[in-house]
């Protein structure tokens, strides 16, 4: 039987891992800005690195690199991609 991956929030990804955005649980204002930065449902995100001492996440979506805090990444639900 194939293992089905559970949805995770973006901050659960490990450096080098990717995921597809399933949902953005946030205010409309932030959702607009995230969308303008390329974070939309269906887009693939890769976690490049994490900042020291619970610092921000460095992620890539499409051709754009972004940083965002763990507290903000928590509201982005992703499906972890394998391989």
Partner 1 sequence: MKRVALIGMPNTGKSTLFNRLTGAHAKVGNWPGLTVELLSAKILLGNEIVELVDLPGIYDLRAQSADEAVVTTFLAQYRIDLALVVLNASQVERQITLLGQIARPGLPSILVLNMADEAAALGISIDRDRLSADLGMPVCLLSAKYGQGIEQLHASLAAALRKGAGAAPTEATALDEPSLDAAIKASVQIPAHASHALTEKIDRVLLHPWLGVPLFFGVMFLLFQAVFFVGKPIQDAMAWGLTAFRTAVLDPAFAGLPAVLSGLLLDGIYNGLGTVASFVPLIILFFLCMAIVEDTGYLSRAAFLMDALMSRFGLDGRSFVMILMGFGCNVPALMGTRVMRSRGLRLLTMLVIPLSLCSARLQVFLFFIAALFPAAIAPVVLFSLYLMSIASAMLTSLLFKPRFVNSDPFVLEVPPYRFPTLRQMLLSGWREVGHFLRRATRFIVAGVVLVWLLTNFPAGAAPGSAETWAGQIGSFLNPVLSPLGIDPKLTIALIFGFVAKEIVIGSLAVIYAQQGGELMTTMAHQIDWVQAYSFMLFSLIYTPCLSTIATIRTESHSRGFSVLAVVWPLALAWITSFAFYQTARLYWP
Query: What contacts 25, CB < 8 A, 6 or more positions away?
Result: 75, 76, 77
Span interacting with partner 1, options 2-10, 17-25, 60-68, rule CB under 8 A: 60-68
- Rounded least distance, CB 1 to partner 1, Å: 30
Identify the H or E element spanning 1: none
Measured from the CB atom, is 7 or 15 closer to partner 1? Answer: 15
Residues 30-49 that bind partner 1 (CB under 8 A): 30, 32-38, 40, 48-49
Q: What are phi and psi of 58, to 5 degrees?
A: -105, 115
């Amino acid at each position: 039987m194939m293992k089905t991956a559970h949805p995770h929030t973006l901050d659960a990804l490990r450096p080098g891992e990717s995921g597809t955005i399933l949902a953005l649980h946030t205010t409309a204002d932030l959702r607009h800005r995230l969308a303008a930065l390329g974070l939309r449902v269906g887009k693939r995100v890769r976690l490049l690195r994490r900042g020291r001492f619970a610092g921000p996440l460095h992620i890539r979506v499409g051709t754009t690199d972004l940083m965002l805090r763990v507290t903000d990444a928590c509201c982005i639900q992703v499906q972890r991609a394998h391989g």
